[in-house]
């Protein structure tokens, strides 16, 4: 199948597929006699893996590491679990940061009258 068919089969944007090829997450596929890129079922599976990992917040480098395990054929559940737990710790830290931000914003917004006056609690908090 050609790149457009791969995009349709996976729901991935054409430019994103190009990006994944440029970064090496997707191998440069073989070409037809007319020069068209030809993708197969393995490319669909790999692209879906990448897309799912991105949806779960894994970075390109983290995905590269996961794929290296798969490509090397030496992956173990323990290795994937360890990498997933590291990522989970990062996600939890981001959630904690977002909760602190939410609290601060809510407290600041609550102090603001919202009136058409020059004195503003939000502006004061940002300028402090």
Domain ranges of the chain: 1-58, 76-128
Q: For position 124, what pLDDT does the model report? A: 83
Decide: helix, strand or coil at residue 37.
strand
- Which one is the CATH code of 1-58: 2.60.40.1120, 1.10.1660.10, 3.90.1280.10, 3.40.109.10? 1.10.1660.10
Ramachandran quadrant class, 58 (left: phi over 0; alpha: psi -120 to 50; beta: rest): beta
User: pLDDT digits over 68-98, tens only?
Assistant: 999 988 788 999 999 999 999 999 999 999 9
pTM of the full structure: 0.80
């Amino acid at each position: 199948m050609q790149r457009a068919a791969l995009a349709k089969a996976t729901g991935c944007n054409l430019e994103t597929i190009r990006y994944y090829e440029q970064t090496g997450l997707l191998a440069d596929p073989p070409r037809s006699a007319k020069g068209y890129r030809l993708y197969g079922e393995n490319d669909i599976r790999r692209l879906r893996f990448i897309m799912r990992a991105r949806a779960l917040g894994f970075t390109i480098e983290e995905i590269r590491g996961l794929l290296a395990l798969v490509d090397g054929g030496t992956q173990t559940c323990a290795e994937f679990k360890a990498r997933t737990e590291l990522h989970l710790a990062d996600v939890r830290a981001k959630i904690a940061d977002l909760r602190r931000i939410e609290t601060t914003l809510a407290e600041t917004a609550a102090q603001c009258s919202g009136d058409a006056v020059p004195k503003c609690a939000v502006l004061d908090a940002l300028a402090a």
